[in-house]
Structure 1
Amino acid sequence: MDDETDGTDDPRREFAEECRSARELHNPAPLTQAHLARLVRTSKSTISRVETCQARIPPELPPLLDEVFATDGKFKRLYEAAVAASFPSVYRRRMAMERVAVAIREWSPTLVPGLFQTADYARYLFEGGYPRASAREVSTLVNDRMARKALFDGDMPPDVRVVLCESVLRRHFCPPETMRRQMKALLVAGSRPTVRVQILPLDAPAHLFIDGPVSLITSPKHNVSVCMENHRTAGILDDPDLVRAALRAYDELTGDALSTRESARLITEQMEKLT
């Protein structure tokens, strides 16, 4: 694994230790768990469980800790690393790459990519994909997915390009209102200065990525890796010839896709058809 994906051996434990240390060393006076709980609008038992690694970190807690302790995003970064550590190694590597990426190119023929999913949309996906999962397990999966969106809120968010097959807009596996909110979220994401969303029409020519989702992630050193996924598995390719072929194929996709303005218009039209 290269330097860009290195991290702590146990980011969850580091989060706990940093929380306890910041609380005990707080200036002008140490904070009790009960006092910290009041400041971050949670319970003393939650703080206790977080500091002893007996429960998952509530996703709303890290930014509040950063605010209380003026730690400039440290708890948020540790939380993202802890979430990534809960995934299999190939997904951990992919998520570590996302966090430091300068550019991300996404293609999906079937679903809205995870970085752009709403919580409700993701919940229906997980409930369908993991029918034996408990409500708590599904909720954990959803929270972990939502945590990935933190990369958009940093000081230097990556440039993100997304091409979706038109079928993504027409696939309604969730209630109409959930799909409406998901389409609205796509429009909002596409309005960011660092994000472009394009739709590939159903009658577009065949292409290299036609049978599955692909992400091309550019590192701070401008190295590009190709991440390919299928049923609960993933692979990361770094071979220069394969990367060049993937970049060419992605350029062809963006050329065949509707413009961002036309894409937004199509998303809006599909959204308005949902009742």
Structure 2
Amino acid sequence: MRAYRGTMSLERLAEIVNFSKSHLARVETADSMPPPELPALLDARFGTDGIFSELYQLARNESQPDQLQRRMELEAQACSVAEYTCQVVPGLLQTADYSRALFKAHYPCAVAEVIEAMVDIRLNRQAIFRADTPPDYSAILDEAVLHRGFGGPAVMRAQLNRLIDLMLTASGTVQVLPFAYGGHPLVGGSLALFTRADGTQVAWEEGSDSGTLMEDLERATARRRSYDLLRSCSLSPSESVTFIRSVMETLPEDYAPLTYPTPMGRALQER
């Protein structure tokens, strides 16, 4: 097949490949990953012998250094945000003291000014809830999130109280997934799902020190299915409040200092 030569409007291309003009415009400006089926359609239309398909695979597998910035942009623009976390409270729900303790644990050598700058950035993200039209928000917290302490009992008590305040609001819900549920596809990481105004979804999957943005329909839809399954099996907001209060009752007034029973341990403690 001869390769197409010349120009074509987005309107005409949208008609040929059966995608909306707005969707194609986001692909053109690199604001969205192409849907998996689009490259083959472009190759067929322009006679490019698989070039678009090869470029798609490269783009899909590329590790983008600005993915975190892109994730934050999607979060700020989304009309709906859904999150699952297995170890820590989601950034959008964190108190300043919890966030500070978390950053200190993750960056033990960072100076105070750097820590405070990171805390400010995290808290500024929460401005989306104060917008004229805040996004619909839902969060699923693994039970481990409630037990893994950061900053001491007083910080955790304040953080858990904040979660209770946010359990059921006009624009959001927070639910607890208890250990009794057992294993599931999302265990070991965290997930955020962003829905745009036009209904398209983007998934962000994160490990301890890296994240992956998934803008193609296939992977985003798979993550949404996993999230919906967990949500259906989580405690209701009212049950989650009761559960969190029971965890708060077990918090000590303060954590006991670590002890070192071995001779080497005692030497370290005395230093």
Q: TM-score range by the shorter chain?
A: 0.5 to 0.7
2:259 aligns to what? none
Inter-CA distance 257–134: structure 2 relative to 1 (3 Å threshold): same
Q: Quick one: distance in 2 between partners of 1:139 and 1:221? A: 36
Q: 1:196 aligns with which of 159, 173, 180?
A: 173
Q: Quick one: distance in 1 between partners of 2:167 and 2:31? A: 28
Matched, 1:114 2:99: no
8 Å Cα contact 1:4/1:97 also seen in 2: no
Q: Quick one: distance in 2 between partners of 1:170 and 1:130? A: 21
Identity score, percent: 34
Q: Which amino acid aligns with 2:214?
A: L
Unaligned runs of 5+ in 2: 1-24, 33-64, 254-271
Q: Quick one: distance in 2 between partners of 1:227 and 1:111? A: 16
2:153 aligns to what? 176
Q: Which amino acid aligns with 1:138?
A: I
Q: Quick one: distance in 1 between partners of 2:243 and 2:131? A: 30
- How far has the Cα of 1:173 moved from its partner? 3.2
Q: 1:264 aligns with which of 241, 248, 256?
A: 241
Deviations 1:68-112 (A, max 9, x none): xxxxxxxxxxxxxxxxxxxx6211111111111111110001000
Deviations 1:103-123 (A, max 9, x none): 111000100010001110011
Q: 2:78 aligns with which of 101, 125, 136?
A: 101
- How far has the Cα of 1:169 moved from its partner? 0.6
- How far has the Cα of 1:272 moved from its partner? 2.9
Q: Quick one: distance in 2 between partners of 1:103 and 1:264? A: 23
What TM-score, normalized by structure 1, do the two folds share?
0.67
Deviations 1:122-144 (A, max 9, x none): 11111111111001110111111
2:120 aligns to what? 143
Q: Quick one: distance in 2 between partners of 1:130 and 1:265? A: 34
Unaligned runs of 5+ in 1: 7-87
Q: Quick one: distance in 1 between partners of 2:111 and 2:205? A: 28
- How far has the Cα of 1:216 moved from its partner? 0.7
1:163 aligns to what? 140
SS of the equivalent of 1:203 reads: helix
What TM-score, normalized by structure 2, do the two folds share?
0.68
Deviations 1:19-51 (A, max 9, x none): xxxxxxxxxxxxxxxxxxxxxxxxxxxxxxxxx
SS of the equivalent of 1:161 reads: strand
Structure having the higher Rg: 2
8 Å Cα contact 1:169/1:267 also seen in 2: yes
Q: Quick one: distance in 2 between partners of 1:233 and 1:103? A: 23
User: After the TM superposition, which residues 1-275 of structure 1 pair with which residues of structure 2 at under 5 Å, given as runs?
Assistant: 2=26, 89-274=66-251, 275=253
1:16 aligns to what? none
Q: Which amino acid aligns with 2:97?
A: D
Further displaced range: 241-250 or 192-201 = 241-250
8 Å Cα contact 1:4/1:96 also seen in 2: no
Q: Quick one: distance in 1 between partners of 2:186 and 2:212? A: 14
RMSD: 1.9
Q: Quick one: distance in 2 between partners of 1:119 and 1:92? A: 21
Q: Quick one: distance in 2 between partners of 1:155 and 1:262? A: 30
Q: Quick one: distance in 2 between partners of 1:168 and 1:205? A: 15
Q: Quick one: distance in 1 between partners of 2:109 and 2:208? A: 17
SS of the equivalent of 1:190 reads: coil
8 Å Cα contact 1:99/1:151 also seen in 2: yes
Aligned length: 194
Q: Quick one: distance in 2 between partners of 1:141 and 1:203? A: 35
- How far has the Cα of 1:213 moved from its partner? 0.3
Deviations 1:194-230 (A, max 9, x none): 1111100102132211120000110111111110112
8 Å Cα contact 1:5/1:96 also seen in 2: no
